Amino acid sequence: MFFVVVLSVLSLPFLWWYFFLQKFKSLSVIPGPRPLPLIGNAFDIGDTPIALLNNCAKLLNQYGDVFKIFIGNECKVFIANADFLEEIMSSNVHITKSNTYDLLKPFLNDGLLTSRGSKWKKRRKMITPTLHFKILDQFLEVFNSSTDILIAKLSSEVGKDWTDIYPYINLFSLDVICETTMGVKISSQEGKNSEFVHALSHYFDILVVRAFSAWKRFDFLFKFAAEYPLQEKYVETLQKFCSSVIEKRRLEKSPQVVETTSDLGIKRRIALLDLLLESDDLTNDDIKEEINTFMFAGHDTTTSGVTFALLALAENPEIQQNVYEEILEVVGEEKYVSMQHLQDTKYLEMVIKEVQRKYSSVPFIERQLEMDATICGVHFPRGATLHLYLHGVHHNEKYFPDPEKFDPERFLPHRQAERHNYAFVPFSAGPRNCIGQKFAMFDIKVLIIKILQKFKILQAPDYKPQLGMAAVLKSYNGMRLRLTRRDSGK
């Protein structure tokens, strides 16, 4: 009898696993590696950001641009196919973020990135005007002044064998996001707030490992992991920093809240934080979750985009020269980069788009189906996680032949017109697209223009970046480049 009881208890997890697989039986038409009971494909996917990126690429090559894996009690369907992406991203129904985003909640709580349903719609409607095109024009002064500080810092690195530019760009991005959307100067480039930058980077490294772990993804079990006390420490640092930014803005005696008027005659506040502080519907916790969301979304992604843009220019000197010649023609030696300059630097824009294709700042996003759905002829059951593998579709030879080649001319108008509209989606698309994509493009453009006015960017000797997939794409051995002072006109 005792033996029967023990056997029954031991068999329960495997019975649960069997019934779990039956739920996703309709996805048998989608290929993928064979899962192990209970843990699924955790060993196939890896447990570090570098392993995750490399193994996802291997699975893509082995099984095609739509494949599935199982992680614990979750089925993830990886999608790097533009037809599937179009049906999902353009839908007003499939807009719910996956359970993976719940791992962000210790930091972001229920902000715009992680919220769902009516709360998300209400907040999106409230926040979108703070990044209106006319308002972005007002941000150019911050983009310019912050870049000038960065250039002054980089000047001391000229002539060295190599410089890790990642810490410099990280602090620059933090200064920009705080002063533009929060209306607060924090002077990170002057040596302040380095704890926040360290905490933010390492927190998201932990997050992506949890997302693909069979057991660390569960809050209760994660408390026994070595990373748990580190996560608690990082979250505390991040929350304290956000609270200090909000309090600083509250206490300013004469807050300089600049207003603009929309095409409909409606006045809009420029600073997101000012808008939130003026709302009677938001508590302090509501404000904090949206500020934290913008700190993350606007800081880490911009840092990734800028550092990989500079790497690409160093690796492709002929393209760097083409960009510089366009800068000479459009901007010349003017010290202030204007909106007209940004609109006229067409080749630079193609270069940045190609950077976002080859080095996608956001490697993936996820949605979770709240109902059964048929997508491109495949029946997906309720609860399936759609892993929209942006890095994968951007390296899909079907849309981008010779994908490892850096070729800005892929984004010439006639070549874009020939390509599937959802083959290039670095900022997502549809109802849940990134509202900060213009902000990011302008910020990166200003920085590249002003840096190339002053420096040539060269490859560091014997250096190859170790790419890894966290919440953003990053190099885990820094971003080493050489800087030389540019002679005028060369």
- CATH number reported for the structural domain that contains residue 435 in this entry: 1.10.630.10
Class of residue 132 by CB neighbours under 10 A (exposed 0-12, middle 13-18, buried 19+) = middle
Distance of alpha carbon 71 from alpha carbon 81, whole angstroms: 22
Contact yes or no for 240/246 (Cβ under 8 A): no
Give yes or no for residue 119 having a pLDDT over 50. Answer: yes
Number of structural domains found in the chain? 1
Task: Name the more confident of 82 and 16.
Answer: 82
Tell me the per-residue pLDDT of 309-332, one tens digit each, with 9 for 90 and over: 999 999 999 999 999 999 999 999
How sure is the predictor about 258, in pLDDT bands with cuts at 50, 70 and 90? Answer: very low
Question: Up-side HSE of residue 333: CA atoms within 13 Å toward CB?
Answer: 5
Give yes or no for residue 81 having a pLDDT over 70. Answer: yes
- Give the mean pLDDT of 46-60: 93
Give yes or no for residue 269 having a pLDDT over 50. Answer: no
Give yes or no for residue 489 having a pLDDT over 70. Answer: no
- Give the mean pLDDT of 370-394: 96
Structural domain includes residue 20: no
Structural domain includes residue 442: yes
Tell me the per-residue pLDDT of 136-177, one tens digit each, with 9 for 90 and over: 788 899 999 999 999 999 999 999 999 999 999 999 998 998
- Give the mean pLDDT of 408-421: 97
Q: Which residue has the tokens 């996820």?
A: 366
Q: Which residue has the tokens 């009677």?
A: 280
Q: Considering only CA atoms, which of 39, 44, 75 is closest in space to residue 369?
A: 75
Q: What is the mean pLDDT of the chain?
A: 88
Structural domain includes residue 1: no
Give yes or no for residue 65 having a pLDDT over 70. Answer: yes
User: Residue 184: what pLDDT?
Assistant: 81
How sure is the predictor about 377, in pLDDT bands with cuts at 50, 70 and 90? Answer: very high
User: Residue 406: what pLDDT?
Assistant: 98
User: Residue 462: what pLDDT?
Assistant: 94
CA quadruple 416, 418, 424, 428: dihedral positive or negative?
positive
User: Residue 87: what pLDDT?
Assistant: 97
Give yes or no for residue 222 having a pLDDT over 50. Answer: yes
- Give the mean pLDDT of 72-79: 92
Q: Which domain holds residue 270?
A: 28-485
Q: Which residue has the tokens 């392993």?
A: 51
Q: Would you call 164 helix, strand, or coil by DSSP?
A: strand
Residue type, 358: K
Neighbour-count burial for 430-462, b at 16+ CB within 10 Å, e otherwise = bebebbbeebbbbbbbbbbbbbbbebbbbbbee
Q: Would you call 120 helix, strand, or coil by DSSP?
A: helix
Structural domain includes residue 464: yes
Structural domain includes residue 78: yes
- Give the mean pLDDT of 353-370: 96
Q: Considering only CA atoms, which of 439, 371, 454 is closest in space to residue 173?
A: 439
Percentage of the chain exceeding pLDDT 70: 90
Give yes or no for residue 370 having a pLDDT over 90. Answer: yes
User: Residue 125: what pLDDT?
Assistant: 83
Give yes or no for residue 485 having a pLDDT over 80. Answer: yes
Give yes or no for residue 263 having a pLDDT over 50. Answer: no
- Give the mean pLDDT of 242-248: 82
Structural domain includes residue 12: no
User: Residue 55: what pLDDT?
Assistant: 96
Structural domain includes residue 22: no
The pTM assigned to this predicted structure is: 0.90
Most confident listed range (19-28, 44-53, 211-220, 453-462): 453-462
Task: Name the more confident of 257 and 223.
Answer: 223
User: Residue 241: what pLDDT?
Assistant: 85
Task: Name the more confident of 266 and 456.
Answer: 456
Structural domain includes residue 167: yes
Contact yes or no for 379/333 (Cβ under 8 A): no
